[in-house]
Amino acid sequence: MGRQSDPAATAQFGGLYPDQELQDYITGLGMSLVAVSERPNLPWSFKLVDHELINAFALPGGFIYITRGILANMNSEAELVGVLGHEVGHVTARHAARQITQQQIGMIGLIGGSIISETVRNNTESILQAMQLLSLRYSRQDEAQADELGYRYLVRTEHNPEGLTAVMRMLQSTSPSAEEMGVPGWMLSHPDPGDRVAANERRIARAQQDFSDFLSGRDQLLSHLDGLVFGEDPRQGYFIGQRFIQPQLALELTFPQNWTTQNSPQSVQAAAPDRDAVMQLSIAETNSPQAALSGFMEQGVTINQNSSQTLNGLDVAWADFSASPPEGQSGQPVRGYVLYAASGDTVYQVLGYTLAERWETAGPVLAQSIMSFQPLRDDRYRDVAPHRIDLVRLPESMTAADFLRRYPSSVDNEAVLLANQVSENERLERGRLMKRITGGRVPER
């Protein structure tokens, strides 16, 4: 189950972060935990994925994922090991397998049930996979058990269990900003089983053991984070309002007002406020718009109208289509537009559809948005760069407020304080490694 879902999970969260040394570091730590776990012989895999969301998750069979977003907010190796150990605990206790078995994919609104032809289902497959992966929620009992196992693995690998306490505090302080992104973060998929900080402190007290010589590894971790991308990476595409811009591919598309949007490496998706209409921009695996449309027309949809023409300087083929559920299956008829456009050597698909009964109002909205697909002609929007972590070793003792003034960042001060997990008036010792955030360049409009 986990192996089958691994490619979709990796892709949905941005693919592998392009830093092999950092990947190897995380894998090494993960395998040290596996060696002291109850299921060391699983085909374990540890991946750092290229997503700004603060999250980590596990799939059955030993597939563990950690985002660069959560990593950027950690401040010691013990914290990283604590999160990895927690996810290893979910696998060894078989929590993830049980959750996937119990939770059917929750397809809401238009996507509900088996509603349309195989073509449209295939085109929404990435959305559905993402929804399933993001909707897994553990029980409070599962969380408490994973915390207990994570603590056990920390101690067995001689990492200071206070790291688990520290990372819990970090997750509590950063979870609101993660939720605002509209995608479930750690605190949504991992419900709080009570006061986890206090529970971990009780574990430490019950152990009656001196952990002062156990590894915290602040510098060990931070030395691997220098240059790490921080926050959203505009090179992978960004939004200015409802206007989506892909600077590397030099393309843009404007989605309807008030629609929820999400960018991923596989596609850009959007949904109407009532979830009764969806759109998706993706790459078509063909060499011409006409060939792509011909393939679409052969997949059991009814074509109401179709044409080949030039749109915004691009060679395109498009169709107005209808589709109904296969005989004997539940669902409602839908109607939509599909556009295939050639740009360079690549053919892109822009797909939008709604319930047939909503076509009179939703159809013009879909048409206007789909026809906005065009080359990016203004070079200002291609000149983008992500924010990155820049390490500073303090030459003298100072407060965090002094650090912010002396070493200014390109993000707001609150984000820097959160990334370092310090308060503004906290006194920082000489020689301490601190993160500032530099770079970052995106046009405002």
pLDDT tens-digit map of 141-180: 888 889 999 999 999 999 999 999 999 888 888 754 444 4
Give Cβ neighbours of residue 158 (< 8 Å, ≥ 6 apart). 214, 215
Highest mean pLDDT among 167-181, 256-270, 395-409: 395-409
343 near 249, Cβ under 8 Å?
Answer: yes
Rounded (to 5) percent helix, strand, coil in the chain: 40, 25, 35
Both tokens of residue 57? Answer: 């998750």
Residue 350 vs residues 252, 253, 275: alpha-carbon distances, Å: 11, 9, 18
CA-CA distance, 299 to 230, in Å (whole number)? 42
pLDDT band at 261 (very low <50, low <70, confident <90, very high): very high
Residue 159 vs residues 29, 38, 251: alpha-carbon distances, Å: 11, 18, 48
403 near 434, Cβ under 8 Å?
Answer: yes
Strand partners, 399: 427
The angle at the Cα of 41, spanning 37 to 42, to the nearest 5 degrees, equals 95
Strand partners, 319: 306, 338
CA-CA distance, 130 to 80, in Å (whole number)? 25
Residue 57 vs residues 70, 148, 306, 337, 422: alpha-carbon distances, Å: 11, 17, 44, 36, 26
Q: What is the mean pLDDT of residues 240-253?
A: 96
If one counts every other C-beta atom within 10 angstroms of the C-beta of residue 344, the result is 9
What is the strand order of the sheet 314-323 is part of? 260-263, 267-271, 277-284, 346-355, 334-343, 314-323, 302-311
Residue-wise pLDDT for 58-117, tens only, equals 999 999 999 999 999 999 999 999 999 999 999 998 866 555 444 433 322 233 322 333
Backbone φ, ψ for residue 370 (5° rounding)? -60, -40
State which amino acid sits at residue 4. Q
How much is the pLDDT for 137?
61
pTM for the model stands at 0.79
Highest mean pLDDT among 159-173, 197-211, 370-384: 370-384
Q: What is the mean pLDDT of residues 32-59?
A: 95
CA-CA distance, 409 to 425, in Å (whole number)? 18
255 near 370, Cβ under 8 Å?
Answer: no
CA-CA distance, 279 to 271, in Å (whole number)? 6
pLDDT of 121 above 50: no
Positions of E strands within 324-432: 334-343, 346-355, 374-375, 385-393, 398-399, 427-428
How much is the pLDDT for 304?
97
pLDDT of 199 above 90: no
Helix, coil or strand: residue 295: helix
| CA neighbor of 174 nearest in space, from 410, 421, 428, 433 | 421
Q: What radius of gyration, in Å, describes the C-alpha atoms of the chain?
A: 24
Backbone φ, ψ for residue 272 (5° rounding)? -65, 160
